[in-house]
């Protein structure tokens, strides 16, 4: 890629001009080829030969790691607690909704064994309780989550992220109060009340999925670093918020163990009804003040970054309070393969995750065949969640590395989970013998590790970032709801098959997830979300074939998009550079038009555009070279004398004369058929 040198007013452009090195001289170079994605020669990193690409990626990764470590060390020297405070304010608070839902949802599952031990006539033999209502406790929970995921996902794109997040927290507070106070004149009446209390709570839980992912994805970084942070750390930002779900599980299991020791005075059965009542009610009440604080913080303290959503609606001529139905239909038609990939991928991932939870007792019985009471299972689960936390954090560490990234992480995770569950299916009886018990333990912990260091984290991230901002929460909600269907399937299927057949059933979902990811999921590691929205603007106008940028680079497309749809053929770095220079000029003219008309530029609406101070100075300088002051007008009146910029652009194939140029934003151009 080559660019013309920036010439001062005294220089001309003779046909025999001297060639000079552009890369350190042209003022638009950093705007068109930022060093976080391009080499000093202006080559996109994914266009490099494999060995050079490997060198460039490793050098960039190492340099960024050193820079961040230096920043953390400088913070630590000034205030030893400041790095922890920064981590909590950025990731813990953003993902605190996932913490509260992880605590409560898995508390409901963990308490099942206690209910069975305390009220066996209800939860065990079903003598006094309806078997269907006992089963409904699990089904209603999943149905509530699905309704919340779809409903709040649509609401988040329709009304805004803030409303969805505050509403989720308030609904979860109400659900926790209902769970704590659930009662009935009979045990069966209590089960019914308990089930519907779960439904209310899980409506808020479902909404947390699309709202947490989009808020973490669209986090407003400090001025001047937003796009760099998006390209280099976007995946980490989302995964570190999502892994708060794991911390919720860990804290809940610890709280339940402590409460049982307090109210029972030990861990061995039998457990009294009074103990059961105190343990489950206090465990739910424990999270009420934290969730109430979350609602307060989201309403009064949290800063929201919704300018990209507003800008997308404005460009699509959608009222701010309206829903962009046209974009949703277009996503289904244009990005249908991606929607299939995220929905099926999450379905397979949740079948693996929740399926493993359902036959977790099988593992524990094999590992500790002579155990009694609930404490043994709870302690093993506590250890298992601790192992999974390593998977969460390793996923956050590698999810943005361009040679590993989210797609490869999900692919490898699915494949290994399929293999890990295939092994006990083949050697089920052998692994249950005491001589091979450590092999069973290894499978148990490795499955937990690769679930988190794999599809459980990546499906949460990919379902948001591969779709345009205007329908991002909706697409995430639909994908997450498909996942809950995957969670519902093993709850039904496992009632009709034996333990060995469960392993035979679940392993194929790992292999199916591996194939689905390879076929339909694009690798967008390192791709700027702003560039994806730029591509979407062309798609929305019916001009997808006129887009030649890196969003259609073969590296960032799925196999379906490359092999079947052939979208990579539109990629052309030179044509894209020409288009981007024109777009920068349009942005600059639009700003000046507002200033000349006495208007005020809304900084928030422009903080994500590409007009840097360098680009502004460049176009400002070019404007001053016009021969007549009246030519500074940004009206559409044709100019008799082309500007020097126009002459230079015409010499480089970027013809941009005033006669040809329309100062409307490129996204507002009339629709054209592909």
Whether 14 is covered by a domain: the verdict is no
Give the confidence band of 673 by pLDDT, cuts at 50, 70, 90.
very low
Predicted TM-score of the model (pTM):
0.83
Q: What is the mean pLDDT of residues 520-542?
A: 91
Average pLDDT, the chain: 82
Q: Please state, as a whole number, how many other Cβ atoms lie within 10 Å of the Cβ of residue 547.
A: 23
Dist CA 386 CA 535 (whole Å): 41
User: How many alpha carbons fall within 13 Å on the CB side of residue 194?
Assistant: 27
- Of 635 and 601, the structure prediction assigns the larger pLDDT to 601
User: Contact at 8 Å (CB) between 235 and 461?
Assistant: yes
161 and 71 housed in the same domain: no
Task: Look at residue 6 and tell me if it is in a domain.
Answer: no
Higher pLDDT, 215 or 452: 452
Q: Is the pLDDT of residue 462 over 90?
A: yes
Classify residue 87: in a domain, yes or no. Answer: no
Could you tell me if 596 and 625 lie in one domain?
Answer: yes
Q: Is the pLDDT of residue 616 over 60?
A: yes
Helix 405-426 vs helix 336-358: crossing angle, to nearest 10? 40
> Do 249 and 334 have their domain in common?
no
pLDDT of residue 362: 65
Q: Is the pLDDT at 367 greater than 60, yes or no?
A: yes
User: Which pLDDT value is given to residue 359?
Assistant: 60
- Residues 282-328: pLDDT tens digits? 999 999 999 999 999 999 988 776 666 666 666 665 555 567 788 88
> pLDDT at residue 664 above 80?
no
**Half-sphere CA count of 167, side-chain side, radius 13 A:** 19
What is the CATH number for 117?
A: 1.20.1250.20
Task: Give yes or no: residues 564 and 578 share one domain.
Answer: no
* pLDDT at residue 319 in the model: 56
Q: Are residues 136 and 283 in the same domain?
A: yes
Choose the final residue of a domain: 460, 490, 524. Answer: 524
What pLDDT score was predicted for residue 651? 34
User: With helix as H, strand as E and coil as C, how does 465-481 read?
Assistant: HCCCHHHHHHHHHHHHH
For residue 309, tell me if it sits in a domain. no
List the single range of 170-174, 351-355, 381-385 with lowest mean pLDDT: 351-355
Q: What percent of the chain has pLDDT over 90?
A: 50
Residue 648 to residue 334: CA distance in whole angstroms: 37
Q: Is 22 part of a structural domain of the chain?
A: no
pLDDT of 639 over the 80 cut: no
Report yes or no: 348 and 455 within 8 Å, Cβ to Cβ. Answer: yes
Say whether both 110 and 208 belong to one domain.
yes
- Do 219 and 332 sit in the same domain of this protein? no
pLDDT of 662 reads: 41
Query: Would 648 be classed as within a structural domain?
Result: yes
Q: Tell me, yes or no, whether 512 and 534 share the same domain.
A: no
Do 296 and 386 belong to one domain? no
Query: Is it the case that residue 255 has pLDDT exceeding 80?
Result: yes
- pLDDT score of 629 more than 90: no
> Given 571, 586, 601, which residue is the final one in a domain?
571
At residue 279 the predicted structure's pLDDT band, cuts being 50, 70 and 90, is very high
Instruction: Give the number of domains in the chain.
Output: 5
The confidence band for 380, taking pLDDT boundaries of 50, 70 and 90, is confident
What is the reported pLDDT for 245?
A: 93
Q: Tell me whether residue 321 is in a domain.
A: no
Host domain of residue 332: 326-524
Per-residue pLDDT reduced to its tens digit, 208-243: 999 998 888 876 554 445 678 888 899 999 999 999
Mean predicted confidence (pLDDT) in 616-622: 72
pLDDT of residue 409: 96
Which whole number is the average pLDDT over 98-116? 90
Same structural domain for residues 241 and 111? yes
Average pLDDT of span 432-439:
78
Confidence grade of residue 652 (pLDDT, cut at 50, 70, 90)? very low
- pLDDT bin (cut points 50, 70, 90) of residue 547 is very high
State whether 156 and 281 are in the same domain: yes
- Of the pLDDT bands very low, low, confident and very high (cuts 50, 70, 90), residue 641 is very low
Whether residue 477 sits in one domain with residue 342: yes
Q: Which of 17, 47, 80 is the last residue of a domain?
A: 80
pLDDT at 275 over 80: yes
Residue 643: is its pLDDT beyond 50?
A: no
- pLDDT for position 653: 38
The β-bridge partners of 38 are 44
Strands annotated E in 349-487: none
Question: Which range scores top for mean pLDDT: 192-201, 297-306, 482-491?
Answer: 192-201
pLDDT one-digit tens code per residue, 67-76:
999 999 999 9
Instruction: Give the separation between CA 510 and CA 141, rounded to whole angstroms.
Output: 24
Q: What is the DSSP string of 34-99?
A: -TTTB-TTS-BGGGS-HHHHHHHHHHHHHHHHHHHHHHHHHHHHH-TTHHHHHHIIIIITTTHHHH
- At 431, is the pLDDT very low, low, confident or very high (cuts 50, 70, 90)? confident
Q: Is position 314 within any domain? A: no
d(CA 656, CA 125): 80
Per-residue model confidence as pLDDT tens digits over 345-355: 999 999 988 76
């Amino acid at each position: 890629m080559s660019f013309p040198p920036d010439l001062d007013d005294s220089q001309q452009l003779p046909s025999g001009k001297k060639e000079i090195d552009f890369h350190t001289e042209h003022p638009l170079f950093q705007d068109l080829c930022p060093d976080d994605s391009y080499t000093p020669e202006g080559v996109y990193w994914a266009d490099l030969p494999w060995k050079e690409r490997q060198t460039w990626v490793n050098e960039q990764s190492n340099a960024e790691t050193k820079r961040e470590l230096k920043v953390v060390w400088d913070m630590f020297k000034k205030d030893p607690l400041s790095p922890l405070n920064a981590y909590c304010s950025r990731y813990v608070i953003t993902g605190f909704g996932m913490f509260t839902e992880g605590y409560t949802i898995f508390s409901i599952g963990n308490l099942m064994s206690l209910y069975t031990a305390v009220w066996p006539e209800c939860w065990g033999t079903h003598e006094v309780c309806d078997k269907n209502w006992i089963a409904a406790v699990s089904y209603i929970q999943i149905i509530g989550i699905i309704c919340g995921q779809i409903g709040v996902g649509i609401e988040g794109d329709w009304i805004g992220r803030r409303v969805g997040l505050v509403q989720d927290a308030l609904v979860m507070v109400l659900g926790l109060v209902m769970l704590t106070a659930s009662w009935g004149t009979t045990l069966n009446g209590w089960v019914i009340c308990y089930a519907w209390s779960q439904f209310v709570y899980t409506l808020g839980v479902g909404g947390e999925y699309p709202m947490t992912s989009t808020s973490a994805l669209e986090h407003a970084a400090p001025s001047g670093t937003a796009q760099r942070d998006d390209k280099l750390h976007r995946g980490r930002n989302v995964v570190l918020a999502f892994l708060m779900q794991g911390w919720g599980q860990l804290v809940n299991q610890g709280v339940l163990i402590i409460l049982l020791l307090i109210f029972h005075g030990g861990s061995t059965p039998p457990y009294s009804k009074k103990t059961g009542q105190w343990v489950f009610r206090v465990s739910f009440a424990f999270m009420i003040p934290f969730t109430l604080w979350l609602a307060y913080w989201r309403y009064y303290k949290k800063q929201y970054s919704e300018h990209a959503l507003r800008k997308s609606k404005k460009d699509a001529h959608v009222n701010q309070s309206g829903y962009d139905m046209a974009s949703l239909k277009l996503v289904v038609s244009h990005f249908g393969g991606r929607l299939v990939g995220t929905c099926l991928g999450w379905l397979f991932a949740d079948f693996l995750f929740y399926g493993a939870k359902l036959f977790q007792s099988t593992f524990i019985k094999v590992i500790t065949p002579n155990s009694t009471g609930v404490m043994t299972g709870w302690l093993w689960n506590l250890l298992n969640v601790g192992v999974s936390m390593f998977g969460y954090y390793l996923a956050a560490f590698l999810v943005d590395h361009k040679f590993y990234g989210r797609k490869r992480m999900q692919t490898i995770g699915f494949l290994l989970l399929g293999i890990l569950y295939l092994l006990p299916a083949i050697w089920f009886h052998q692994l249950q013998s005491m001589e091979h018990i450590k092999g069973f333990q290894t499978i148990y912990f490795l499955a937990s590790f690769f679930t988190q260091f794999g599809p459980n984290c990546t499906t949460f991230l990919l379902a948001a970032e591969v779709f345009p901002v205007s329908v991002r929460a909706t697409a995430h909600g639909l994908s997450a709801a498909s996942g809950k269907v995957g969670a519902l399937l093993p709850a039904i299927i496992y009632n009709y098959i034996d333990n060995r057949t469960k392993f035979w059933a679940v392993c194929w979902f790992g292999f199916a997830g591996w194939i689905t990811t390879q076929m339909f999921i694009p690798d967008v590691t390192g791709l700027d979300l702003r560039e994806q929205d730029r591509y979407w603007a062309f798609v929305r106008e019916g001009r997808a074939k006129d887009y030649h940028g890196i969003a259609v680079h073969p590296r960032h497309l799925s196999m379906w998009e490359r092999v079947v749809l052939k979208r990579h053929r539109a990629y052309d770095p030179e044509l894209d550079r020409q288009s981007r220079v024109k777009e920068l000029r349009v942005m600059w003219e639009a700003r000046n038009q507002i200033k000349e008309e006495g208007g005020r530029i809304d900084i928030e609406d422009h903080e994500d555009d590409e007009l840097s101070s360098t680009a502004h100075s460049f176009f400002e300088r070019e404007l001053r070279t016009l021969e007549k002051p009246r030519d500074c007008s940004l009206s559409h009146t044709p100019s008799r004398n082309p500007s020097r910029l126009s002459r230079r652009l015409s010499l480089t194939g970027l013809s941009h004369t005033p006669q040809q140029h329309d100062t409307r934003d490129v996204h507002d151009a009339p629709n054209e058929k592909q």
